[in-house]
C-alpha cells in the first residue's frame, strides 16, 4: 500500500516550500522535502507557475493521496 499524505503534512510542506523566496528554488525545496518524507517527487509534474498556499496543498493532496 502506498503511503498517503495527510492534510497536516501537506499544509506543512506547502508552508515551508513557499517560504523559499526564489520561485526557481521552490521546486528544488519541494522535491527535497517530498523525498525527506518518503514521497517520490518524480511521479507528477510540479506546478510551474507561482502558486498560492491553498493551491499547493490541494495539489499535494491530489498527487500523493493514498490509493485504495
Q: What is the DSSP string of 3-53?
A: PPPPHHHHHHHHHHHHTSS-HHHHHHHHHHHHHHTT--TTSSPPP-S---H
Does residue 1 belong to any structural domain of this protein?
no
- Domain membership of residue 29 (yes or no) is yes
54 falls within a domain = yes
- By the 10 Å C-beta count (0-12 exposed, 13-18 middle, 19+ buried), 45 is classed as exposed
- pLDDT confidence tier of residue 2, bands split at 50, 70 and 90: low
pLDDT confidence band for 67 (50 / 70 / 90) = low
pLDDT value at 44 more than 80: no
| pLDDT of 19 over the 60 cut | yes
Residue-range definition of the domain harbouring residue 18: 7-63
Q: Is the pTM of this model over 0.95?
A: no
pLDDT band per the 50, 70, 90 thresholds, residue 32: very high
Amino acid at each position: 500500500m502506498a503511503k498517503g499524505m495527510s492534510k497536516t503534512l501537506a499544509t506543512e510542506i506547502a508552508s515551508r516550500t513557499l517560504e523559499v523566496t526564489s520561485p526557481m528554488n521552490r521546486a528544488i525545496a519541494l522535491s527535497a522535502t517530498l523525498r525527506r518524507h518518503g514521497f517520490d517527487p518524480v511521479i507528477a509534474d510540479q506546478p510551474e507557475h507561482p502558486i498560492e498556499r491553498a493551491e499547493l496543498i490541494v495539489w499535494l493532496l491530489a498527487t500523493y493521496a493514498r490509493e485504495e
